[in-house]
C-alpha cells in the first residue's frame, strides 16, 4: 500500500526523495517506504488571476502533456506499476534506479512518444517486490508539459506565483524548489536566475519574477 504523504509535517523541510539516478539494474536494497518529500503552507491561489492567465493562453497542452494536481497526462501519482505499464508502451520506458540515503529505489525513464528527443521524465516508484510497486513521484523537465493555465518548464516563476501562490522556496538535495501543496507540485527554480549568494530558504516575494522554472515535481 502506498504510504500517505503529509505536506504539513513540522520537520525535515523538503526532504526530496531520489536526488540522483543510476543505470538500470538491481543495485542495493529496495525500500518499502519513503519519506515525505514536501513541506509547504502555500498562500491560496488567486482565482481571478488564474482565470485571467487562462484567458491569455493561446496554446494549451494536449491531454498527454497536461499537468494537474498529482497527474501528468495519463500518469497519476499513486497508480500501481501494473497500471503504469498498461497505459505506457514498453518502448517508451527504460528501467533505472534512484539512490536516496543509501537505499535503492526503482524508477523508469519515460521517453515522449511525440518528441523522442525531448528531455525524458523520471517516474519514481516505491514499495517492495512482495507488495508490489506504485508511482511515488514524477519529475519533469520537458517543456511540452503545461498546466491548464499554460505554466510549465521555461515559464517565469512570477506567473506561477500569481496563479497558485507560494510562501517559500527552499534548497533540497541539489534543487531549489517552490512547493504548492494545493497543486501537489514542486516547481524547480533555475538558480542562475536567483540573486547571487541567496539563502537556502527564501520567502516567495524575494524571488525575482523572471526566475525561470526548470523542472516540475508531482507528488500524491
Mean pLDDT of the chain: 77
Which pLDDT score, from 0 to 100, does residue 49 have? 55
pLDDT in tens, 2-39: 444 443 333 333 334 344 454 444 444 444 443 333 33
For residue range 168-186, list pLDDT tens digits in order.
888 876 788 898 877 788 8
pLDDT of residue 6: 40
Q: Kindly tell me if the per-residue pLDDT of 147 is higher than 90.
A: yes
Q: What is the pLDDT of residue 42?
A: 41
Q: Who's near 15: CB < 8 A, 6+ residues apart? A: 35, 36, 37, 39, 172, 173
Are 171 and 200 a contacting pair, CB within 8 Å? yes
Give the pLDDT confidence score for residue 98 in this predicted structure. 83
CA distance 176 to 82: 32
**Among 104, 103, 135, residue whose Cα is nearest residue 122:** 135
Phi-psi region of 11 (alpha: psi -120 to 50; beta: other; left: phi over 0): beta
Q: Residue ranges of the domains in the chain? A: 20-219
Give DSSP secondary structure letters for 37-85.
-----PPPP-HHHHHHHHHH-SS---GGGEEETTEETTEETT-BHHHHH
What pLDDT, on a 0 to 100 scale, did the predictor assign at position 73?
95
Please report which helix (H) or strand (E) contains residue 169, including its range: strand 168-172
- 132-140 vs 213-219, strand pairing mode: antiparallel
* Structure confidence at residue 157 as a pLDDT band (50, 70, 90): very high
Beta-carbon neighbour count of residue 116 at 10 Å? 10
pLDDT at residue number 181 = 75
* Entry pTM: 0.73
pLDDT attached to residue 58: 45
Going by C-beta distance under 8 Å and a sequence separation of 6 or more, which residues neighbour residue 47? none
Q: Which residues pair with 169 in a beta bridge?
A: 178, 202
pLDDT of residue 59: 57
Is the alpha carbon torsion for 73, 147, 167, 213 positive or negative? positive
pLDDT at 20: 47
pLDDT at residue 193, rounded to an integer: 86
pLDDT bucket at 196, cuts 50 / 70 / 90: confident
* Percent above pLDDT 70 for the chain: 70
Architecture of domain 20-219: Sandwich (2.60)
Q: What is the DSSP letter of 204?
A: G
pLDDT at site 52: 56
Average pLDDT over residues 153-182: 84
Average of per-residue pLDDT across 103-124? 93
Q: Is the pLDDT of residue 70 over 50?
A: yes
Amino acid at each position: 500500500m502506498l504510504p500517505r504523504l503529509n505536506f504539513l509535517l513540522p520537520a525535515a523541510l523538503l526532504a526530496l526523495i531520489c536526488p540522483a539516478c543510476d543505470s538500470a539494474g538491481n543495485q542495493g536494497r529496495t525500500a518499502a517506504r519513503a519519506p515525505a518529500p514536501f513541506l509547504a503552507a502555500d498562500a491560496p491561489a488567486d482565482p481571478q488571476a488564474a482565470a485571467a492567465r487562462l484567458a491569455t493562453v493561446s496554446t494549451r497542452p494536449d491531454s498527454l502533456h497536461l499537468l494537474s494536481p498529482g497527474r501528468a497526462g495519463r500518469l497519476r501519482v499513486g497508480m500501481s506499476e501494473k497500471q503504469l505499464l498498461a497505459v505506457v508502451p514498453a518502448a517508451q520506458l527504460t528501467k533505472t534506479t534512484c539512490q536516496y540515503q543509501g537505499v535503492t529505489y526503482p524508477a523508469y525513464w519515460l521517453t515522449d512518444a511525440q518528441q523522442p528527443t525531448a528531455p525524458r521524465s523520471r517516474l519514481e516508484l516505491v514499495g517492495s517486490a512482495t507488495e508490489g510497486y506504485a508511482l511515488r513521484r514524477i519529475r519533469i523537465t520537458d517543456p511540452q508539459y503545461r498546466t491548464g493555465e499554460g505554466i510549465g518548464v521555461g515559464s517565469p516563476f512570477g506567473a506561477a506565483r500569481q496563479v497558485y501562490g507560494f510562501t517559500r522556496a527552499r534548497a533540497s538535495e541539489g534543487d531549489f524548489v517552490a512547493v504548492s501543496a494545493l497543486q501537489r507540485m514542486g516547481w524547480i527554480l533555475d538558480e542562475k536566475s536567483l540573486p547571487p549568494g541567496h539563502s537556502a530558504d527564501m520567502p516567495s516575494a524575494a524571488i525575482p519574477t523572471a526566475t525561470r522554472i526548470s523542472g516540475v515535481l508531482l507528488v500524491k
